[in-house]
Amino acid sequence: MRNALILLIETPGSTLSENTLGVDIPLELARNLCDYFTELSISELYPVYDGYDFFLLSYTPEEAIRLQKRIGDSFRFLASSGETQLLFLLEAASRLEEYDRVIFLKSNVTDLSEEILISFFERMNEFDLLFGPSGPSFYLLGLHRNDLACAAALKGLGQEEIDNYEVESTRNAFHLPERPAAETIESLTRLREDLPAESGLARKIDDTIIQATAADGLGE
């Protein structure tokens, strides 16, 4: 079994992304914060062992180029297209023809490691689908290649849609614990509350909020 981990690069302002941080705080600050999340995720999840191959997926070619300029071209970048987020993900997975299992993971979550991701792939030996909820949306989605066509019947990527899909398709999903993804100011606040004060990410979030508050004050 060959496994592919696709890090879905969350960028404020993208049409397909559910990330609204660029509305809640100044867009430049939101992008800088999401860039920090992305680079942190890459450093923590780029594989040392043989549990999975690692790919990066941006919502637009422009964002992929911007990321490549920041981190270099030694990583594998995927391209995709689709009118909805679901179709965009399924198209990306379909291009990895040599892989049996694919996990999509949003770049703006924390406290995951290579070892944990390997255990998620192992869990897929027993289940048809892996789902990690984050508020009304998701932070992780795991699919088998032979289920991609069936998964196109999903009505969305929230908890209710996954539950309905299980019933209608007779597929068996493993539901991971809920985890905040930094997509809104509310979820960012929840994520920050779980971080130790001395962590670099906590300091980055605090600094971003301070700058956003100052910018908001200047705009009044």
Calpha distance 189→214 (Å, rounded): 18
Global pTM reads 0.95
Query: Of all residues in the chain, what percent are helix, strand and coil, respectively (each to 5)?
Result: 45, 15, 40
Q: In the chain, how many domains are there?
A: 1
Q: Which two tokens stand for residue 198?
A: 């001395």
List per-residue pLDDT tens for the chain, 220 residues long: 899 999 999 988 888 888 999 998 999 999 999 999 999 999 999 999 999 999 999 999 999 999 999 999 899 999 999 999 999 999 999 999 999 999 999 999 999 999 999 999 999 999 999 999 998 899 999 999 999 999 999 999 999 999 999 999 999 999 999 999 999 999 999 999 999 989 999 999 999 999 998 876 544 4
Per DSSP, helices labelled H in the chain are 21-24, 27-45, 61-71, 85-94, 114-123, 148-151, 159-169, 185-193, 200-219
pLDDT confidence of residue 145: 96
Would you say 140 and 131 are in contact if contact means Cβ atoms under 8 Å apart?
yes
Find the CATH number of the domain harbouring 188. 3.90.550.10
pLDDT confidence of residue 191: 95
The label of the residue with tokens 């932070």 reads: 139
pLDDT confidence of residue 217: 58
pLDDT confidence of residue 63: 93
Q: Containing domain of residue 168, as a range?
A: 3-219
pLDDT confidence of residue 218: 47
Q: Which two tokens stand for residue 184?
A: 């809104």
